[in-house]
Every structure is written in C-alpha cells, then in structure tokens.
Amino acid sequence: MKAPADVRPSPIAGTWYEGRAPALGAAVDGYISAAQLPPLEGKVVALIAPHAGHRYSGGVAGYAYAAVKGLKVDQVAVVSPMHEYYPEPLLTSAHRAYSTPLGLVEIDQEGLSELDASLKPALGFGLSVVARDREHSLEIQLPFLQRALDGPFKLLPVMVRDQSPRVARALGEGIAKVLAGKATLLVASTDLSHFYSQREADRLDGYMLEQMAAFSPEGVYEAEAIGKGYACGLGAVMAVMWAARRLGANLVRVLHHDTSASSTGDPSSVVGYGAAVILKTG
C-alpha cells in the first residue's frame, strides 16, 4: 500500500443525496426517526444497509441506522461492492479522508495496514488503493453514520470485486482481527434484486433475507448461485457476517424490506432494499 493522498471529494453529493449540509442532515435524521424498530436484545455488532440514492433506499437504510442511534464507537468498517471495473479483487481508498457535506470522515490508515498484512498470507494478495474512485455504495453509508453515531469515528473502507466465499471469509476474519477488543461497528452495503417485477422481487428478496436472518454466509452465497435471491454486495455481506461471528455475534434480525416502487410508483421493474442488524446476545 502506498502513502495516502489528500481528501476524496464526493462524486455523488447533490445527486444521490442532498448536497447541502442542513438539508442532508435533516433528510437523514428524518429517515432514522421514521423507522419503527422491534425490540432488539444484545449488542449491535454489524448492520446490513442498502446503497441506492437516498430518495429510493433512504427509508430502508433508516431502519438499520436507527438501531445504532447514539452509539459511540472508535472505528467503523464499511464493506461494499465496487461496481466499476478494476482488476484487483479488494480495494480501499488512497486518500486520508472521505468528504461529505457533513464533514470529513478520517480513514483508519493503521487499521488498513493491519488488514492488508493479514490478508496477504491468507489470500496471496492484500488491499489495492484507488484514488478519486466514483464508487457510491460505500460513500452512501457515511452521512447515515455521521448523523446516527455519537461523535467522530475512524473509517476502515473496503470495496470488493472478488465475491467468492474464499475471499469473503478471509476478508471477514481479517477485519475481525483488526477490530477485536475495540469499540467498533461493521456495515455491509448491499442492494437486493434488480429490475424484476414487484412480485418477483418480493420472492427473490424474501429468500435472500431468509438466508441473512439465518446468519448463513454460505446460504447467502448459495441463494445467488442457484438464482433464488440476489445481492449486488454479496461479498460484502458474507465478509461482514464472518467478521461479526468472529466478534461474538450470534443473531441476525431483518428490520425492513422495500423496493424502488415505493418511490417511483412503477412496480413493473424494481430494485429491492433490505435492512438488518447483527447482534451479540447473552
């Protein structure tokens, strides 16, 4: 890994979400306060949240972040897909911080170096750095973290190209080593099925969410492999599940599901969104 450069400017502020701080803060607070959570027992270890524009998936993401409203942590690991083509299997930011209209989010350089070092013997490769990337699925989580959490935190950002179980498990176990013994939170960024009818999306998303609720990274992978459910952040979800297990989590609660039809009014071709929380009970 090379030395970090400056600050990553946001390529999506003002389009994927509000571009001015007051409006963005109010919108995110509104999504979080509107969520109606069931009783949650235990400590929140990880979240699964969608990453479409806030207009489409913000209401669903609000359920995930309502579960950590007021939580104080030192580190947050956000694992997302990388939608653009890069040949490297695992990527991270070359910058020292992410910028959103709500301020800077400092990147945990020490944590990334530790993770890189742990991945190399396990996989034969580590993290590749990318500057000024345009990936939305990681950044879209940051305003929610900035508004939900109590105080600043350092960010451990990882973007996944190789979505194989081997890479996901090694990544998850490596992240768990970095976070062990600290006040931390994990976030897996994923949307669900893409461009099916509302009825078909409900079926596909329901099956995928069942695998998440079963706390089964193997089931999550198998669901997509056999075409019974889809998640564009498949590798991110599996990695976060493996990490959460290593950190003592033992329960997944699905909090909410919706589709883009709620925003567009068009049920003929929708994108699915789900929110879940991973807990350590007992």
Q: Which domains does the chain have, with CATH numbers?
A: 5-33+43-280 (3.40.830.10)
Is the separation of the CB atoms in 131 and 41 below 8 Å?
no
Task: Label the pairing between strands 90-93 and 128-130.
Answer: parallel
**b/e code 169-181 from CB counts within 10 Å (16+ = b):** bbbbbbbbbbbee
Q: What is the pLDDT of residue 1?
A: 52
Q: Tell me, what amino acid is at 263?
A: S
Q: What is the pLDDT of residue 282?
A: 78
**b/e code 64-84 from CB counts within 10 Å (16+ = b):** bbbbbbebebebbbbbbbbee
pLDDT per position in the chain (282 positions), as tens?
555 569 999 999 999 999 999 999 999 999 999 999 999 999 999 999 999 999 999 999 999 999 999 999 999 999 999 999 999 999 999 999 999 999 999 999 999 999 999 999 999 999 999 999 999 999 999 999 999 999 999 999 999 999 999 999 999 999 999 999 999 999 999 999 999 999 999 999 999 999 999 999 999 999 999 999 999 999 999 999 999 999 999 999 999 999 999 999 999 999 999 999 999 997
pTM of the model: 0.96
